[in-house]
Amino acid sequence: FTKPINSNELIDQLDLITASQIQEPFRVLIVDDSPTLLAYHAAILEQAEMHVKTVSEPMQLLEKLNDFNPDIILMDLYMPGCNGLELARIIRQIDGFLSTPIVYLSSENDFNTQPEAMSLSGDDFLVKPIDPAYLISAVTTRVTRSRFLRSLMIHDGLTGLLNHTAIKEELAREVIRSSRLKSSLSFAMVDIDFFKKINDSYGHAAGDRVIKSLARLLKQRLRETDIVGRYGGEEFAIIMNDTDATSAAKVIDEIRNVFSRLLHLSHDEEFSVNFSCGIADLAHFPDAASLSEAADAALYQAKQRGRNKVIV
Ligand code: GH3
Ligand code: MG
Ligand code: MG
Ligand code: MG
């Protein structure tokens, strides 16, 4: 038995996590038929510590897109056998690239084509030759803004965790990845017990603080490779790579134990809270839908059998 910890003592790491994601090196994909220009533009951006990949052959584009997952695409307008406007339109139809900034690079001096380029899936138009400092700042401002917007879009405002949509997308992705690698994967659903009573007895603000403290605890105790999201009001979802349900249950049961011993504070009144959890793994439920259904059913069992429990 260890002494109870005050929930306020948990360090707030969530802002740091989000900030570090925004600060990762920018990934820039340049599409141009001229190897000389590709090398020149790449060198400029690499000097500014960006990660650059280049494509001189449009056929390689799709493959590079998925492997590299660029933050921004710099697209030559005229290439033999294809044009940048058409490529941009194709990119816009690929899952996950609807909002990736596309900036056209061209020696085109006819300003009439610029509005056309904009209306066809582009975000901006830079005329070659481009001043190196201008190229760097054009890329930096766009990537900073789009990363920030994307971060807002996929994170939950209260806890900073991934939101419902984002965690479902992660689950779909991780199920495919783990099936391909034949590695194990667990999915856990966590739901705070009698949360309505907490709100009723101590107020909504105290309830919010409880939700935040569980979010922080999960982030602190789980591995860097585990993916945590806020599934709904007082519900959390956790994806654990390379982990079968038995091992996952061990880890989460420890967290359950720590959480149930936290002391929460509301107007000088101390109270404690616990959660229930249901877990399923990919070995028994081989697709995302049945995996999350099974975790949900196990959670229901945990509630039925008295709460404050982890059930596989
Ligand atoms: P059970 O043990 O069966 O899970 O009981 P419960 O009271 O936790 O069950 P239920 O899921 O019905 O209640 C969840 C409550 O959580 C309902 C809602 O008022 C509250 N809630 C949902 N989102 C938030 C939030 O963001 N903040 C606060 N403070 N409360 C929330
Ligand atoms: Mg060209
Ligand atoms: Mg609930
Ligand atoms: Mg609940």
Interface pTM, i.e. ipTM:
0.95
Q: How many whole angstroms from 198 Cα to the centroid of ligand 1?
A: 9
Closest atom, ligand 1, to C-alpha of 204: 29
Confidence bin at 78 (pLDDT 50/70/90): confident
Of residues 204 and 2, the one with the higher pLDDT is 204
The average pLDDT across 130-154 equals 93
- Above pLDDT 70, what percent of the chain? 89
Range 77-80 contact pairs with CB under 8 angstroms and sequence separation of 24 or more: 77/104, 77/105, 77/106, 77/108, 77/113, 77/117, 78/33, 78/106, 78/108, 79/31, 79/32, 79/33, 80/33
The average pLDDT across 204-225 equals 96
Closest atom, ligand 1, to C-alpha of 197: 7
Alpha carbon nearest to ligand 1 atom 31, residue: 233
Q: Lowest-confidence range among 41-50, 121-130, 170-179?
A: 121-130
Radius of gyration of the chain (CA): 24
**Which residues have CB atoms below 5 A from the ion given as ligand 4?**
191-192, 195
Q: What type of residue sits at position 231?
A: Y
The average pLDDT across 147-172 equals 93
pLDDT at position 195: 98
- Above pLDDT 90, what percent of the chain? 70
Count the residues in the chain. Answer: 312
Q: How many whole angstroms from 90 Cα to the centroid of ligand 1?
A: 44
* Token reading at 17: 């996590």
pLDDT at position 13: 42
Closest atom, ligand 1, to C-alpha of 205: 29
Q: What type of residue sits at position 260?
A: S
The residue behind tokens 């936290």 is: 262
Alpha carbon nearest to ligand 1 atom 27, residue: 208
Alpha carbon nearest to ligand 1 atom 23, residue: 233
Q: For residue 9, is pLDDT > 70?
A: no
Alpha carbon nearest to ligand 1 atom 18, residue: 196
pLDDT at position 225: 93
Q: How many whole angstroms from 194 Cα to the centroid of ligand 1?
A: 7
Q: Which ligand is nearest to the CA of 215?
A: 1
Lining residues, ligand 1, CB within 6 Å: 158, 191-196, 199, 204, 207-208, 211, 233-234, 303, 307
Q: Lowest-confidence range among 101-110, 153-162, 180-189?
A: 101-110
Alpha carbon nearest to ligand 1 atom 13, residue: 196
Q: For residue 230, is pLDDT > 90?
A: yes
Q: How many whole angstroms from 140 Cα to the centroid of ligand 3?
A: 42
With 0-12 CB in 10 A as exposed, 13-18 as middle and 19+ as buried, what is 147? Answer: middle
The average pLDDT across 226-240 equals 97
pLDDT at position 14: 46
The average pLDDT across 195-207 equals 96
- The distance from CA 224 to its chain's CA centroid, rounded to whole angstroms, is 13
Q: Please state whether beta strands 124-127 and 102-106 pair in parallel, antiparallel, or not at all (unpaired).
A: parallel
Closest atom, ligand 1, to C-alpha of 208: 29
Q: Which ligand is nearest to the CA of 84?
A: 2
* Token reading at 175: 């199920």
pLDDT at position 297: 98
Q: Which ligand is nearest to the CA of 56?
A: 2
pTM across the whole model? 0.79
| 239/260 Cα distance (integer angstroms) | 22
Concatenated DSSP letters for 138-202? HHHHHHHHHHHHHHHHHB-TTT-SB-HHHHHHHHHHHHHHHHHHT--EEEEEEEETTHHHHHHHH
Q: How many whole angstroms from 292 Cα to the centroid of ligand 3?
A: 15
pLDDT digits (tens, 9 = 90+) for 244-279: 999 999 999 999 999 999 999 999 899 999 999 999
Q: Which residues are catalytic?
A: 234
The answer to whether 193 and 276 are in contact (CB under 8 A) is yes
